[in-house]
Structure 1
Amino acid sequence: MSDLFSSPLLWVEQPTRVPVARSRYKVLNGAGAVVAKASEQGVSLKRAAARAVFGDADRRLVEVRGPNGEALLVIEAYSERNAFVSWPNGARIGSFEAAKRKRYRSRAILDHAGNQVGLIDDNNGLGRRYDVLDAHGTVAAYIDKKWTGVLKEMATTADRYRVEIHRPLPDPLRVLVPVAAIVLDMLFFESKDWPIS
């Protein structure tokens, strides 16, 4: 299985770009080696222009590929709502959905059948530091959204995340937690599109 699903430390980075361009991510392990790349599919020049004018960024579909180009996962996210993670053949692995009685950016982690298997808890309410809890409420990982500077934070989508996984996780958390930073970014930080109207 890919190093993406076995590395205890991952860095998720985005290239500096304007918000209307397609979503792209690079995932590195703790040694700095690229273990996965992800990019949004189906974004034509016309759609990018529509995003710039109308702020149309509700649905994003990102393919996650290994360092040699092999398909690993597909992530489908709906801005500020839910995200679904599937294998390349379309079989659902799980989803990230609004967590009841939790902060706005917190998300329940569900398996393919809709059973809650974990929680991403926005523990300070600022969308910078997240605890990832397993089904028993034990912290299994941390996700930190790193500060990239005022200009990059406000004018681009060049975000950077540190994902620290404390122990080997059972399925489906083993697959969902490593891509949780990409999911959070797609849900809450990719919609920096600026409607001109």
Structure 2
Amino acid sequence: MDILARNLYLVKEHVGMFKAANNFDIFDPDNGDKILECREESLGIITKILRFTDYKTYTPFDVRIRAEDGTQVVRVKRGISLLRSHVEVFDENNALLGSFHQKLLSIGGKFSIQDQHGNEVCELKGKWTGWDFKFLYGDIEMAHVSKQWAGIGKEMFTSADNYVLQISDHIAPNSPARQLIIAAVMCIDMVLKE
């Protein structure tokens, strides 16, 4: 899919005072066009209520990332989470692509990103001092997520709920790692930062 072959994405979270659902838009930083929509479409009433309490980090989610034409690119799903999150990622046909496993007792946040066979694709590591995350395979940086941005799309970067995803040129355009990384970015807020 052409959208996944890009190396740079600007992510804007929908914010609101009484917002239960996790919704994001992803833009092309070169021209400011919206290229992907991330929506949590079917929230149960109990989940909605719990999202406004201290229990929100334990609630399930089901986020669908779609192209502008409505085609599903990736789906991110988690059941109820108690100690650590286990998140599943599905492709456009709802076939399992992989999963994320939150690591306990990590400073700044960390989770393992695995393919559908349980092999580690990379690890997401964050800094406890701020909003800076790296996708690493050993010492190799596969992608980077940050709220610091000075590129062309900087004027879109007006609130604290926006960030940039930069994927390394070394990841093949058709690699499933790209879908897993994009899905993982949606989980940073919901799993590590809520």
Pairwise TM-score range, normalised by the shorter structure = 0.7 to 0.9
Map of 2:116 onto structure 1:
112
Task: Give the TM-score, by structure 2 length.
Answer: 0.78
1:62 equivalent to 2:63? Answer: yes
SS of the aligned residue for 2:51 comes to helix
5+ residue gaps, structure 2, are 150-158
Map of 1:74 onto structure 2:
75
**Percent pairwise identity:** 21
The answer as to whether partners of 2:76 and 2:88 remain within 8 angstroms in 1 is yes
The answer as to whether partners of 1:38 and 1:62 remain within 8 angstroms in 2 is yes
SS of the aligned residue for 2:68 comes to coil
* Alpha-carbon RMSD: 2.7
| Aligned-partner Cα distance in 2 for 1:94–1:43 | 23
Map of 1:183 onto structure 2:
187
Note the alpha carbon deviations across 1:127-160, whole angstroms, 9 max, x for none. Answer: 51111113x430121111459xxxxxxxxx9721
Note the alpha carbon deviations across 1:87-134, whole angstroms, 9 max, x for none. Answer: 243211111212478535111110011111111111x32351111113
| Aligned-partner Cα distance in 2 for 1:46–1:95 | 25
Relative contact order, CA 8 A, sep 6+: which one is greater? 1
Q: What code does the residue aligned with 1:132 have? A: F
1:131 equivalent to 2:134? Answer: yes
After superposition, the Cα gap between the structure-2 partners of 1:169 and 1:101, relative to the gap in structure 1 and judged at 3 Å, is farther
Alignment of 1:16-55 (within 5 A): 16-18=15-17, 20-31=19-30, 32-44=32-44, 47-52=47-52, 55=55
| Aligned-partner Cα distance in 1 for 2:114–2:142 | 15
Note the alpha carbon deviations across 1:22-45, whole angstroms, 9 max, x for none. Answer: 110101122122111011022255
| Aligned-partner Cα distance in 2 for 1:158–1:59 | 24
After superposition, the Cα gap between the structure-2 partners of 1:10 and 1:47, relative to the gap in structure 1 and judged at 3 Å, is same
5+ residue gaps, structure 1, are 148-156, 192-197
